[in-house]
Structure 1
Amino acid sequence: MQANGTDEAAIREMLARYNVALNGGRTAEVLPLYAPDCVFMAPHAVSNVGVEAVRAAYDAVFRELAFDVAFTVVEVVQLALDWAFVRTNSAGTTRHAPTGRTTTEANQELFLLKKGDGARWRIARYSFSPTNPPGDA
């Protein structure tokens, strides 16, 4: 089922807000984009389940990393009236706070979205993996 125009526009707008919040390093702007029963799955780490765990994960990420990345939406598929998934690619740079070093950043992402309160699309599950070869900078 392809997302209808209204839902697809709302999904794309929510992902654009996520991109801005990520690049700004603002956990307080990231969290409202997540569903209450959210799960954040980063590479080489255990899943962060629930809002408090996701908050702690983003706080830790933003202490270590500053992003300048852009997301490209590859696919938006609405699975049901209140569920959709989005596949994206992202690329840009990441500055590492401990060293001050800037490296290239490239990932593939999968967002599972749920339409909840107020008919807003939110991130229910988010997983990503790097597409740069290991050690690429």
Structure 2
Amino acid sequence: MSDTTAVRELLDTYAKALNTSDAALAASLYAPDGVFMPYQAPTAAGPQQLLEAYRQIFEQIQLDVEFTIEDLTVDGGTAHAVTGSAGRVTVHADGSRAPERNRELFVFVRTDEGWRIARYMFNKTAPASAGS
């Protein structure tokens, strides 16, 4: 399998983790020194903080999103991807649903276990307005 295909599969698995609220799966996709920089939340670094960060997120919301890869570059043992995600989010506290759109930056490293997320951050983008 090519490196590009392996990174794409990693992103597919990450989307699955988000959409199934699987904190353990999400955290397992990171390198041992991986860092997650979520929107309006503290940075999580290392396996335990990553797991806790995803648990806290999934306690609050349920995601139903799809990723679009806008740019993917592999260079030796590192890679980066710029992605967009779009779908819906359900807030557990009140059951409300809303559009969810983000842009993301992933940095990957090749490890003995295969490709893993080294750094990941995202921010919100405005949902498309009706009729656009």
Could you say which TM-score interval applies, normalised by the shorter chain? over 0.9
Structure 2 gap ranges (5+): 128-132
Tell me the C-alpha RMSD between the 2 structures. 1.2
Q: Identify which of 111, 119, 124 aligns with 1:130.
A: 124
Which residue of structure 2 aligns with residue 107 of structure 1?
102
**1:54-73 pair list within 5 angstroms:** 54-73=50-69
Structure 1 gap ranges (5+): none
Map Cα deviations across residues 35-88 of structure 1 (whole Å, 9 max, x no partner). 100100011222111111111100000000000000001111123x11110110
Amino acid at match of 1:25: S
Give the SS at the match of 1:45.
Answer: coil
Which residue of structure 2 aligns with residue 13 of structure 1?
9
Give the SS at the match of 1:132.
Answer: coil
**1:35-74 pair list within 5 angstroms:** 35-74=31-70
Q: Identify which of 115, 126, 129 aligns with 1:121.
A: 115
| Percent identity between the two aligned chains | 38
With structure 1 as the length reference, what TM-score do the two structures score? 0.89
With structure 2 as the length reference, what TM-score do the two structures score? 0.92
Map Cα deviations across residues 10-29 of structure 1 (whole Å, 9 max, x no partner). 00011001101110000121
The 2-side partners of 1:66 and 1:11 are apart by 24
How many residue pairs get aligned? The number is 127
How far has the Cα of 1:9 moved from its partner? 0.5
**Which 4+ runs in 1 deviate beyond 3 A?**
none
